[in-house]
Amino acid sequence: MTRRHALIRRLRQSERGTALIEFALTAPVFLLLLMGIFDYCWQMYAQQVLQGAVDKAGRDSALEQFSKDQAALDNIVRTQVKNVFASADVSFERKSYDSFAQVGTEERYTDSNPKNGRYDAGECFDDFNGNGKWDADRGRSANGGNGGADDVVLYTASMKFNRVLPVWVMLGQPQETTLTSSTVLRNQPFANGSDSPPDECK
For residue 202, is pLDDT > 60?
no
For 134-169, what is each residue's pLDDT tens digit?
888 888 886 666 777 788 888 899 999 888 777 777
Q: What does the buried/exposed string (b/e) look like for 134-168 if buried means 16 or more CB atoms within 10 Å of the residue's CB?
A: beebbbbbeebbbbbebbbbbbbbbbebebebebb
For 82-93, what is each residue's pLDDT tens digit?
988 888 999 998
**Which of 155 and 58 is assigned the larger pLDDT?**
155
Q: How many CB atoms lie within 10 A of CB 50?
A: 23
* 3-class SS letters over 118-174: CCCCCCCEECCCCCCCCCCCCCECHHHHCCCCCCEEEEEEEEEEECCCCHHHHCCCC
For the chain, the structural domain boundaries read 11-186
Lowest mean pLDDT among 14-28, 38-52, 94-108: 14-28
Q: Is 0.85 surpassed by the pTM of this model?
A: no
For residue 198, is pLDDT > 60?
no
